[in-house]
Amino acid sequence: MLLFASLPARADWIKMGQIEKSSLIFLTAKTVFYIDPASVTRQGDIGKVWQIRDLADKGSTGERSVLEAVEYDCVDLQMRTVSAVGKSRPMAQGETIPLSRTSEEWTSVRTGSDYEVFRKILQRVCAP
């Protein structure tokens, strides 16, 4: 599996949106998503980006945010997390908290409110 290059020491995160309530099991009641636009790369149909999930409440392992490397399939409109680590404070700050292993399976970026922020990120990552 292709891993991402190291995340820059200082990233200029931009807010991509938030989800207030979701049926998706990996999200807390309110989750805000950020990406580092300088980290966006593209190889063929696959766009890659570093993103932060900032959680309103602690996640199941005590994390307040998740720093993750995510791939987006620009043709088939899918996404998958390549690597992820929990952080004890918002905006990927604080102590590192190991998370359960990420799945290598692709997830469709469907229409609907649960996926709106992911479609916005996909459009940004896959823009020509």
The CATH number of residue 107's host domain is: 2.40.128.710
In a domain, 5, yes or no: no
In a domain, 1, yes or no: no
In a domain, 18, yes or no: yes
Tokens 């916005």, residue?
120
Using alpha carbons only, give the angle 33, 10, 121 rounded to the nearest 5 degrees.
25
Buried residues in 6-41 as b, exposed as e (16+ CB within 10 A):
eeeeebebeebebbeebeeeebbeebbbbbbeebbe
Model-level pTM? Answer: 0.86
Name every residue whose Cβ is closer than 8 Å to that of residue 63 and which is 6 or more positions away in sequence. 55, 86, 87, 88, 97, 99
Beta-bridge mates of residue 80:
71
In a domain, 101, yes or no: yes
pLDDT tens-digit profile, the chain (128 residues): 344 444 555 679 999 999 876 554 455 568 899 999 999 999 999 999 999 999 988 888 899 999 999 999 999 999 999 999 999 999 999 999 998 777 778 999 988 777 889 999 999 999 98
In a domain, 42, yes or no: yes
| Domain range enclosing 46 | 14-126
